[in-house]
Amino acid sequence: MPRSAKDSLVERRSIDVVPDSERHGRPFSQFTLWLGANLQITAVVTGALAVVFGGGPLWSIIGLLLGNVLGGAVMALHSAQGPKLGLPQMIQSRAQFGVKGAVVPLLLVILMYVGFFASGSVLAGQAVGELTHLGDTTGIIVFAAVTAVMAAVGYRAIHALGRIAGVICALAFVYLGVRLLDSIDLGAVLSSDTRFDLPMFLLAVSLSASWQLAFGPYVADYSRYLPRTTSGRATFWWTLAGSGIGSQWSMTFGVLVAATSGGAFMKSQVSYVVGLGGAGLVASFLYFVIALGKLTINVLNTYGGFMSMVTGISGFRGQRTLSPRARSAYIAGIMVAGTAVALLGKDSFLTSFKDFLLFLLTFFTPWSAINLVDYYLISRERYDIDALSDPRGRYGAWRPDALSVYVLGVLVQLPFLVTHFYTGPLVAPLGGADISWIVGLAVPALLYWLLARRNTAHLPQGASGACGGNPQPDTGAAPNAKGVRAP
């Protein structure tokens, strides 16, 4: 690889494996990226929802913390796959669902990206509109265009943006936190409603767990350029720390704001938060911070969305690389779809977003369970990279066993699901608590493990880590019949 390509700011790779010669960075980069991605207004709203929908401040904070730890641990396990394989997250699903069968969870992942892009654009559009005095609609469109440009530049720019946003947003949240604590009696707020309400507590856990689990389908996209020798534990812990601290910080702030706003927060989330900080130049700076925080996460959503679209389509076309023009077209498609949804749904954001988060959880917990069980327990971190692009290879075009477990994993959650438009029959006996995400992790994980351990014909033998088409360090060992060097 020419050095100019290796050091280029504009990324040239998409779903193809990152060779060792282009690997760079340290696992600490995962901390700065995910801290910046979570210190933002949508995470504040997510925390506030725990109170808005009936939870007490103290138990809401505890529930959000538990959800961030549990969901964040699952998300960080996905992140640790990146350095080992050098692949985007969702292309790994071909090893479980088949080269073509992976399109089933991919369709839902793309829907997730569009939805998060839209929800983020609503709040960021308010900030941009206030900052430029052009209104929410123009703010949404301007924000979407900047997002698309950053996503097109790619990996290096995304990490640089995360580092900048992490520092600026952390300083802004410290300032806002001080201003908030100066205006309220924290002890009185936390002691105002200390009764333990199990359904409301589990709602808080589900909100933060779904927030973290929704990162799972793209988290390895941003660790895949790390050197292959990077410690999996280091990647795991830095990712969990950045995402957990950032989200809990934002969500705790959201709980306190919602508990003390007297309903004003529900009317205009962005304006209310900015109003806590002051007026004039301070307000303009805070509007900029809100837009910057949302830009970080929306770039991730756009970048991950285009990766998922390419992964799904290329599985049927046998495509391994992508031209710059095609890359731009995919990114533009995500931007246009997300912007359209944002403009249509901006007036009913708060309720819609809560239902969207919980509904997403229904579809991503089974995928996450299957992927992690396969990677860590069945394949033991070994995939045949070449076969991930070959429907006639060891992974096949469709894997009926994994697809069946996935569908069943979705269905078993429905009796326990609570949303605005559907409530399962087993919710009432549980006092209204939503435990669907726990069922959606446990049942598919167990079923897939029982099925996959009995059929290991598709597993690479004698290979360590990523193999096949991913260039390995020269150890002097001869390649075996599959072109995989023995360790």
At 302, list the tokens. 């756009």
Band (pLDDT 50/70/90 cuts) for residue 6 is low
C-alpha to C-alpha distance for 296 and 483, rounded to whole angstroms: 40
Residue 401 clears pLDDT 70, i.e. is over it? yes
In whole angstroms, give the CA distance from residue 152 to residue 135.
Answer: 26
Pairwise pLDDT comparison (94 vs 248), residue with the higher score:
248
Higher-pLDDT residue of 320, 386: 386
CATH architecture of the domain with residue range 27-357: Orthogonal Bundle (1.10)
Contact (CB, 8 A) for 205 and 67: yes
Contact between 320 and 391 under an 8 Å Cβ cutoff? The reply is no
In three-state secondary structure terms, 473 is: coil
What is the enclosing helix (H) or strand (E) of 466? strand 466-467
Give residue 240's pLDDT: 97
Asked if residue 318 has pLDDT above 70, the reply is no
Mean pLDDT of the chain: 83
Residue 485 has pLDDT above 50, yes or no: no
CB of 427 closer than 8 Å to CB of 416:
yes
With beta carbons less than 8 A apart as the criterion, state whether 432 and 367 touch: no
- Give pLDDT, residue 296: 87
Query: Two tokens at 104?
Result: 């089933």
User: Are 40 and 296 contacting, i.e. CB atoms less than 8 angstroms apart?
Assistant: yes
Q: At what angle do helices 103-132 and 136-153 cross, to 10 degrees?
A: 130
Query: Which pLDDT belongs to residue 227?
Result: 94
Cα atoms found within 13 Å of the Cα of residue 272, Cβ hemisphere only? 20
> What letters, b where the CB count within 10 A reaches 16 and e where it falls short, cover 203-226?
bbbbbbbbbbbbbbbbbbbbbbbb
pTM of the model: 0.84
As a whole number, mean pLDDT of residues 199-216 equals 88
Instruction: Tell me the angle at which helices 436-452 and 400-411 cross, rounded to the nearest 10 degrees.
Output: 160
Per-residue confidence (pLDDT) for residue 238, from 0 to 100: 97
Q: What six digits make up the tokens of 200?
A: 């409301």
Question: Is the alpha carbon torsion for 22, 103, 368, 328 positive or negative?
Answer: positive
Q: What angle, rounded to 10 degrees, do the helices at 136-153 and 155-183 form?
A: 140
Give the closest residue to 308 by CA, choosing from 379, 208, 242, 214: 214
Domains of the chain by residue range: 27-357
Tens-place pLDDT, residues 222-278:
999 999 999 999 999 999 999 999 999 999 999 999 999 877 877 777 888 888 888
pLDDT band at 385 (very low <50, low <70, confident <90, very high): confident
Q: What is the mean pLDDT of residues 35-46?
A: 89
In the predicted structure, residue 354 carries a pLDDT above the cut 60: no
Q: Judge contact between 468 and 484, C-beta under 8 A.
A: yes
Average the pLDDT over 276-302 and give the result: 87
Q: Do 6 and 21 touch, CB atoms closer than 8 A?
A: yes
Question: Do the beta carbons of residue 319 and residue 313 sit within 8 Å?
Answer: yes
Residue type for 319, please? Answer: Q
Q: What is the pLDDT of residues 143-159, one digit of tens each?
A: 888 888 888 888 888 89
484 pLDDT above the threshold of 60: no
Fill in the amino acid letter for 469.
Answer: G
Q: Is the dihedral of CA 301, 355, 274, 31 positive or negative?
A: negative
Name the least confident of 165-169, 282-286, 356-360.
356-360
Percent of the chain with pLDDT over 70: 88
Please tell me the predicted confidence (pLDDT) of residue 483: 36
DSSP sequence for 77-141: HHHTHHHHH-S-TGGGGHHHH-TTTTHHHHHHHHHHHHHHHHHHHHHHHHHHHHHHTS-HHHHHH
Q: What is the pLDDT of residue 413?
A: 92
More confident residue, 121 or 374: 374
- Summarize pLDDT for 409-459 with one digit per residue, the tens: 999 999 988 777 778 888 888 777 778 888 999 999 999 999 988 877 777
Choose between 205 and 340: higher pLDDT. Answer: 205
- Nearest CA to 387 out of 79, 139, 196, 102 is that of 102
The confidence band for 480, taking pLDDT boundaries of 50, 70 and 90, is very low
Distance CA 475, CA 219 (A): 30
* 3-class secondary structure, 479: strand
Alpha-carbon distances of 309 from 213, 334, 368, rounded to whole Å: 20, 9, 18
Those residues whose C-beta lies under 8 Å from the C-beta of residue 294, and which sit 6 or more positions away, are: 40, 41, 42, 120, 121, 123, 124, 127, 143
pLDDT at 71: 93
**Cβ-contact 163, 31 below 8 angstroms:** no
